[in-house]
Chain A
Amino acid sequence: QKEVEQNSGPLSVPEGAIASLNCTYSDRGSQSFFWYRQYSGKSPELIMSIYSNGDKEDGRFTAQLNKASQYVSLLIRDSQPSDSATYLCAVGNSWGKFQFGAGTQVVVTP
């Protein structure tokens, strides 16, 4: 079992719709959770971080964390073509090791 799992996609989303991305993790000791966006040929860039159960909103992005279910998600509202990228879920443990999922490719269609 991989430590961090994501659907590989591609996830096709019409422009203006909501994109919903899911991530599960295996280490119950995980304490920090992140979503990164990676454009083709570029390095990952941070979108959201979340540390406690519940929702966290930042602009068009909402991260949701459920530690009991070992599940973290990302919603992208009003999706734009510029949101087309691969989204990486990252999970950090208490001593600083960060593991990444394989990423979900999102394609926003005009």
Chain B
Amino acid sequence: GAGVSQSPSNKVTEKGKDVELRCDPISGHTALYWYRQRLGQGLEFLIYFQGNSAPDKSGLPSDRFSAERTGESVSTLTIQRTQQEDSAVYLCASSLDRGLGNTIYFGEGSWLTVV
């Protein structure tokens, strides 16, 4: 596609429910990133994929959070047993590769509200 595509764009869920957020990176981009941004806050790194492997999962806040990527394309971020503090916009980004000179481009984000 022309840009990074994320779905759903907005999600309201009840506390305790599971949610899945999807990211479709720019075609041909091998690196994929998930960030979280709470209202009025900066970007919080969650996880990074190079191809289908995740060399860095250090940012995942708890074991309720998991992510996978298949076919070196689409990635899914899953949040189990959602809590109110999970309310944020979840931004996905991709880059052509991970080396010097590669820029990351963002999707429009998935806005999650846990009520």
Chain A interfacial positions (CB closer than 8 Å to B)? 31-32, 34, 42-46, 49, 51, 88, 90, 92, 94-103
Contact = CB atoms under 8 A, between A and B. Distances in A.
B95 A96 contact: yes
A94 B55 CA distance: 13
Interface of B: 31, 33, 35, 41-43, 45, 48, 50, 55-56, 91, 93, 95, 97-109
Contacts of B105: 46
Contacts of A31: 100
B103 A49 contact: yes
A35 B99 CA distance: 18
A101 to B, nearest CB: 6
Contacts of B43: 44, 88, 100
Contacts of A42: 108
Given A31-B100, A88-B43, A97 B106 contact: no
Contact of A101 (B42, B50, B104): B42
A97 B104 CA distance: 10
Given A98-B45, A99-B45, A43 B103 contact: no
